[in-house]
Each structure stands twice: as structure tokens, then as C-alpha cells.
Amino acid sequence: MAKISALSGFPEWLPAERIVEQHVIDTFRRVAELHGFSGLETRAVEPMSQLLRKGEIDKEVYVLRRLHADDEGPDAEQADPDRQLGLHFDLTVPLARYVLEHQNDLAFPFRRYQVQKVWRGERPQDGRFREFYQADLDVIGQDTLPVHVEAEVAIVMAEILAALPLPGFTIHANNRKLSEGFFRSIGVEDTQAALRCLDKLAKIGPDAVAALLREEAAASAEQAQACLAFAGIRTGDEGFADQVRALGGHGELMEEGIAELADVVRRVNTAVPGVCVADLSIARGLDYYTGTVFETFVEGHASLGSVCSGGRYDRLAADNRHGYPGVGLSIGLSRLVSRVLSAGIASATRPVPTCVLVAVADEEARGHSEAVATALRRRGIPAEIAPTAAKFGKQIRYADRRQIPFVWFPGAGDEEHAVRDIRSGEQVPAEPSTWEPPAEDLRPRVVRADG
């Protein structure tokens, strides 16, 4: 037997923990479908030519090779980037490819959610996972996509996060047009460089960012200070607009960004009160974004970083007929679940779906116990049958070890059946066709530690 040990960076859960993860996935799906998003699943692999387009060669992609490929002569698949395969590192590259591939079969705006594992070969000692779930929501237009979709996708995410067993969270929003318009209007022309510098604010602090702005964005000392003051603006309503103007920002692009951001903050807070703030420090490094950008933080868990990020991008994909603008948000689901579990934020009420263990008096009567279990299951009550006809005390201990709340004792012939709550020891007469467990015991539930 080969050595058995956990693989660093590849998290796996015990059954009770998996119930928490499944609950998070189910909640995501339920809310997304209520809002009319279609569930999509793409293959786990993409051609390396897709994964590395836009020159993203810094991505730690896992490349695949068939074990026996070498036996088949010169390896054409490995040499051709359109045929060499790698595991996807996010769900956005596959979405772009899927939309182009199936554009004639989709109705736009295309609304999809996708919850799948992604893989990144990063050093696990950085506290990063190499295999983890992402949960994405995107709306993709064909050639055009109305601006109000930016608020809409954030509202769906806010409803999802509010339905999860989490402490409070805040969605921080900014707008690329606002940032770029402001930088230009104070004379900082390399707006991408300025964004990349500000993106480091939380990591390296204001002094280092000021130095970086002068070095990399060719900002004067005064301009660097104005950028930092800009990034310090944070309001729960449209108050940010006057503060930006007071810093000397002006112009059409900036005012367009202000109007869009004010609209997002107002709409999201109307739908889920108090969850959205305008936070002009949100930069998100990627060149990719063209409108609203979002990051989301969980109260008391700043060290997690943003648990849900994204925004508006006008060029998800394009071919020679159409362009595909989109708005998308993505939850780093495994990272979030891992924290929920390790910090004891929430847990499952039991590790098994089973509500009732049906005892077996003797092996000849197993069929009788099976009939009881079948009657319970027909009414949606999860039931299993004791594995052996041991003494009842041993069968009760078995239920206790599996944390099954009820043990059923079938009555032989005309005898009454009885069911025992093994937590309280209370035993009552019961009929397989009518008995109901308390609603909170029917299935394992995921509950917050603080209530």
C-alpha cells in the first residue's frame, strides 16, 4: 500500500463538512435560478492556446499529458497549443469560449451561473488552494449590454451572500470610468498604471503607494496625494460624488462613472439594505474591467481578502461578427467554506442525512424493518436499517455513533411500533404511515454558531 496522506492545497471535507459546502452550493443555485440564471457546466479542460491567450503566461496552469501518449510516436497533441490541454484556472475563460462556440444556440443577454472546481498550480504554502470551487454569475450581451445589469448582478450576489451562514458582509463598489476620469482630469495620463499602484494599497500602505505612483504612473507629489485622497473616499450613498469633485476631479467620463456608481449603490441597497458602499480604493488590477468593479469583505474576516469580486467587462469575447460585453461576479467558494469551517462560523446539525435508524429484532425480521423504512422514505423521511440484528442497546449505540436522532423499533405482528429520540431517551408509540419527526430533525441543517 502506497503512503496515504493529505495533499497540501487540495482540500477535502469530512461528511459533516461536506454538508456545509453542499449547502453553500445549493443556496447559490437556488437564488441564481430564482433570478432566471441558467446553470452551466463546461468541461474542465481547455486548449492551452485558450488558457494562455491575452498573454496570461504567469498563470500556474496544470498541463495534461496522457500516460501512454509517449508509446504512440511523436506527440502531436503536446506540440500543438490548439490540441495540448490544460485544466481551467477560472470559469471566465471557458465562458468566453462557450459563448463563441454556441452563440447561435443561446438567447442574449445570456444569464448563467456556474459552480465548478478550478485548478491553479500555485505554491500551497502561500495558503492558497490548488483545487477549489468557484461560483460565478455572469450576464453576457451580444454587442450591447445595458448598464443597469451591473447593479442587477450585484443584487443577486448580495441575496446569495445574505442567505449564507456568514457574519455581515459588505460589497465595495467602484467604477472604472470614475477612476480613469478622475486620474485624467488631474493630469495622470497612465490610468492603468495608477490603478495597478492603488490596487496595492491594502498590501503596502499609502506611503509606498505614493512612491509607486510617482515612479510608475509619472505622478507629481501633489497628484499622488490626490490619488490617495481619492482612494480614501468611502460612502454608503452618493455622497462620494461631491467628495471626488472637491478633489478637483471633473469631466464627462468621470461624471458618467459617478452616475453609474451612484445608481449601483442605490439599487443594491434598495434590494438588500446596507450591504453596498462606494469605495474608491477598489481598483482590481486587471485591464479587463470597463465599468463597475466589486470586491466583497466579510465582517471580522478581513484576512480572507475579497470573497466575491468582479465587475463590468466590455470585451469578454469577440469574433468577426459580434462582440460580447458582460457583467460577472465570482465567489471563491472553497476558500469561504474553509473559513466557515475552520473558524466555526457554522456547522451541520449532523453528519448523515439519516433521520431514523430502523432497528432489526432478528435477521429473519429484516424484511419487516425494510417495510417500515420504505414507508418512512415514501413520505420523505430519510431512513436506514440497522446493519446487524445485534442487541437493541448496541443498535442504539450505532445510531448514536452515526448521530442519527431517532431509532425505530418495529412491532412484530399486531404489536405497536415505537420510536425513540436517542438524545432525550423519550420513546413513544408510532405508525410508519403517519409519524413525523420535528421539522428541524428531518434533514441535517447548517446553522450559525451564534444562533
Give the separation between CA 30 and CA 205, rounded to whole angstroms.
40
Burial class (CB in 10 A: 0-12, 13-18, 19+), 438: exposed
Q: Is 374 in the site for its own copies (CB under 8 A)?
A: yes
> What minimum distance in Å lies between the beta carbon of 442 and its own copies?
11
* Distance between CA atoms of residues 86 and 252, nearest Å: 44
Which strands sit side by side in the sheet containing 427-430, from one edge to the other? Answer: 383-385, 356-358, 406-409, 417-421, 427-430
Instruction: Identify which range of 5-13, 217-225, 253-261, 411-419 contacts its own copies by CB under 8 A.
Output: 5-13
214 binds its own copies (CB under 8 A): no
Of residues 103 and 225, the one with the C-beta less far from its own copies: 103
How far apart CA 94 and CA 383 sit, in angstroms, is 41
Judged by beta carbon, residue 31 or residue 282, the one nearer its own copies is 31
Q: Cβ of residue 252: shortest distance to its own copies, in angstroms?
A: 20
* Stretch in the footprint of its own copies (CB under 8 A) among 16-24, 188-196, 219-227, 305-313: 16-24
429 to 448, contacts with its own copies by CB under 8 A?
443
- 301-360 binders of its own copies (CB under 8 A): 317-319, 351-354
In the region spanning residues 389 to 408, those forming contacts with its own copies, defined by CB under 8 A, are 398, 401-402, 404
How far, in Å, CA of 91 to CA of 102, rounded?
Answer: 16
Binding positions for its own copies, 149-188, rule CB under 8 A: 149, 152
Judged by CB under 8 A, the chain residues 98 through 117 that form the site for its own copies are 98, 100-102, 105-107, 109, 111-112, 117
Give the position of cell 504612473: 217
* Single residue of 323, 382, 411, 437 touching its own copies by CB under 8 A: 382
Residue 148 vs 221, nearer CB to its own copies: 148
The Cα 82–Cα 63 span in angstroms is: 13
From candidates 20, 24, 61, 173, binder to its own copies by CB under 8 A: 61
Rounded to whole angstroms, how far apart are CA atoms 306 and 331? 9
Residue 62 as a binder of its own copies (CB under 8 A): the answer is yes
Closest separation in Å from C-beta 295 to its own copies: 24
Instruction: Name the packing angle between helices 176-185 and 221-231 (round to 10°).
Output: 150
- DSSP calls for 134-198: EEEEEEE-SS---TTHHHHHHHHHHHHHHHSS-S-EEEEEEEHHHHHHHHHHTT---HHHHHHHH
Give me the amino acid identity at 267: R
Q: How far is the CB of 413 from its own copies (least distance, A)?
A: 19
Region of 239-247, 251-259, 267-275, 300-308 interacting with its own copies (CB under 8 A): 267-275
CB of 229 to its own copies, least distance (A): 33
Q: What is the total count of residues that contact its own copies (CB under 8 A)?
A: 100
Question: How far is C-alpha 150 from the geometric centre of its chain's CA atoms?
Answer: 18
Burial of 182 (0-12, 13-18, 19+ CB in 10 A): buried
Site string for its own copies, 121-140 (x = CB under 8 A): x---------x---------
CA-wise closest residue to 50 among 82, 78, 91:
82
Nearer to its own copies by Cβ, of 249 and 291: the residue is 291
Cβ nearer to its own copies, comparing 100 with 361: 100
Task: Compute how many other C-beta atoms are within 10 angstroms of the C-beta atom of residue 159.
Answer: 18
Provide, rounded to whole angstroms, the least separation between the CB of residue 29 and its own copies.
Answer: 9
Contact between 204 and its own copies by CB under 8 A: the answer reads no
Q: Is 137 exposed, middle or buried (0-12, 13-18, 19+ CB in 10 A)?
A: buried
